[in-house]
Amino acid sequence: MKTRLFLGVAAACLLAGSAGAVDLKFKPGEDKKFNWESYEAFSKAHPLKGQTLTIFGPWRGEDQALFESVLNYFREATGANVKYSSSENYEQQIVIDTQAGSPPNVAILPQPGLIADLASKGALVPLGDDTKKWLLDNYAAGQSWVDLSTYKGKDGKEAVYAFPYKIDVKSLIWYVPENFEDAGYKVPKTMEELKALTEKIAADGGVPWCIGLGSGGATGWPATDWVEDMMLRLYPASDYDKWVKNEIKFDDPKVVKAIEEYGWFSRNPKFVDGGTAGVASTDFRDSPKGLFTSPPKCYLHHQASFVPSFFPEGTVVGRDVDFFPTPNYASKPELGNPVEGAGTLVMITKENPAAKAFLDFLKTPIAHEVWMAQSSFLTPFKGANQDDYANAPMKKQGQILLNATTFRFDASDLMPGKIGAGAFWTGMVDYAGGKSADDVAKSIQKAWDGLKN
């Protein structure tokens, strides 16, 4: 899964903390940007001294340290003893622990497919209608988050089993402002304008795009993000949902059209650095480097919010490079403002008062603001102070989430592994190699039809 590729490779570890020995990054009451009033109210309502909360999740290394800084506020507010742990193979470990009857109180996962499996086996605790209402009222595009959090339980009935927390935006296009200024280009507001800009750059003798699909055994996945963006901008989100569930087949004309719209950018040799042959052979980590050469090898690059990790050392986002959301078609205003992304979801796997209190804590602005004020955290929570974001680029990405009318999780991560992390990837490589969108779509659908029920 794509979400699995960028979680870090630090050694697994277990960190524990308790009230009275916590290090609070921002002192309560001192910085007025933070919502201390709600934090104090939460603390008064949740005295948990002497109780233990165990949390298992994907965050390791730097992200674990950041999450621990948030957990310290829960420790301080409640008096609970909180233990967080992770594992390099956390997806397998949570399955082993739940099957053995020894799960943590709270599990945090970035894979909705795995969450659906855990819910269907009765391994998760329903979070209730109050959580559903809270998401509807407090998260931008609230119904999207309710949909993402809803799964079928062991009894086959749907319920909210998860709470989205820490979101990634994928629908981004990166560019160097200085290159645009020198050439007289403007940031496009619509998909039609993006296509016109692409043609303009090529007509001026430049190369519009850098595109690279290489990623070792996961080669092909960057193109799936393109197709997913196109699906959300060509059709209603309900069609996207049906596609993910195989209710709209891969070889349906709608999906073929989405692949071809990606191909409009990637299959024209004048539009891509290295020509069409270079798309599949260029590593995705190397592909954005063309933005920074002099003269630039390309002017535009489609990639998620994590891509600055692969920019030249010292590159400052917002100054040396910037981004804009993948634009929508002006001809389709009825589709609103969709955003594609990923993220993590929090579940109760072994209920106790501390676990229920932790879910209440995630509904406070502080649980979001403390991480926002550091790095690598975006939230659709309307109650969090946007001025708490650590820098302007993070705030800009946060605004993309807040302005979304629809949010949809990365489709390939929602599909069966052999499709989303298999046939879809290889199909996009075949497409880069010259196969037609129709033939590629048929081959992916054939793989899906071959899955055992």
Tell me: the pLDDT tens digits for 362-390? 999 999 999 999 999 999 999 999 999 99
Please tell me which residue, 10 or 223, carries the higher pLDDT value: 223
Contact 306, 237 (CB under 8 A): no
φ/ψ of 86, rounded to 5, equals: -145, 180
Average pLDDT over residues 306-326: 95
pLDDT at 7: 39
Residue 242: how many CA atoms within 13 Å on its side-chain side? 11
Question: Which residue has 């990166």 as its token pair?
Answer: 174
Length of the chain, please? Answer: 453
Question: Which residue has 């946007």 as its token pair?
Answer: 386
Rounded distance, CA 175 to CA 171, Å?
A: 14
pLDDT at 206 exceeding the cut of 90: yes
Rounded distance, CA 47 to CA 51, Å?
A: 9
pLDDT at 420 exceeding the cut of 90: yes
Lowest-pLDDT choice from 2-11, 58-67, 152-161, 362-371? 2-11
Handedness of CA 433, 231, 289, 373 (dihedral sign): negative
Domain ranges in the chain with CATH number 3.40.190.10: 2-169+340-409, 172-335+412-449
**CA-based angle 386:392:398, to the nearest 5?**
45
pLDDT at 227: 98
φ/ψ of 336, rounded to 5, equals: 70, -140
pLDDT interval class at 21 (50, 70, 90): low
pLDDT interval class at 10 (50, 70, 90): very low
Contact 206, 296 (CB under 8 A): yes
Rounded distance, CA 419 to CA 376, Å?
A: 29
pLDDT at 230 exceeding the cut of 80: yes
Q: How many CB atoms lie within 10 A of CB 123?
A: 23
Element containing residue 56 per DSSP (H, E)? strand 52-56
φ/ψ of 225, rounded to 5, equals: -65, -40
What's the whole-number average pLDDT of the chain? 94
Q: How many CB atoms lie within 10 A of CB 179?
A: 21
Q: Cα-Cα-Cα-Cα dihedral of 219, 225, 230, 231, to 10°?
A: 100
The separation between CA 317 and the C-alpha centre of its own chain, rounded to angstroms, equals 19
pLDDT at 236 exceeding the cut of 50: yes
Rounded distance, CA 13 to CA 88, Å?
A: 10
Rounded distance, CA 5 to CA 20, Å?
A: 37
Q: Which amino acid is located at 195 in the chain?
A: K
Q: Which amino acid is located at 74 in the chain?
A: F
pLDDT at 53: 98
Q: How many CB atoms lie within 10 A of CB 438?
A: 13
In 3D, which of 136, 428, 381, 134 has the Cα closest to residue 276? 428
pLDDT at 171: 87
Contact 208, 300 (CB under 8 A): yes
49-82 pLDDT, tens digit per residue, is: 999 999 999 999 999 999 999 999 999 999 999 9
How much of the chain, in percent, has pLDDT values that exceed 70? Answer: 95
Rounded distance, CA 173 to CA 170, Å?
A: 9
Helix (H, G, I), strand (E, B) or coil at 235: coil
Residue 114: how many CA atoms within 13 Å on its side-chain side? 21
Q: Give the CATH H-level superfamily of domain 172-335+412-449.
A: Periplasmic binding protein-like II (3.40.190.10)
pLDDT at 131: 98
pLDDT at 3 exceeding the cut of 50: no
Strands 81-85 and 52-56: parallel
pLDDT at 292: 98
Helix (H, G, I), strand (E, B) or coil at 54: strand
pLDDT at 231 exceeding the cut of 50: yes
The separation between CA 354 and the C-alpha centre of its own chain, rounded to angstroms, equals 28
Class of domain 2-169+340-409: alpha beta
pLDDT at 452: 72
pLDDT at 277 exceeding the cut of 50: yes
pLDDT at 8 exceeding the cut of 60: no
pLDDT at 425 exceeding the cut of 50: yes
The separation between CA 228 and the C-alpha centre of its own chain, rounded to angstroms, equals 13
Rounded distance, CA 146 to CA 304, Å?
A: 23
pLDDT interval class at 31 (50, 70, 90): confident
pLDDT at 2: 55
Residue 248: how many CA atoms within 13 Å on its side-chain side? 18
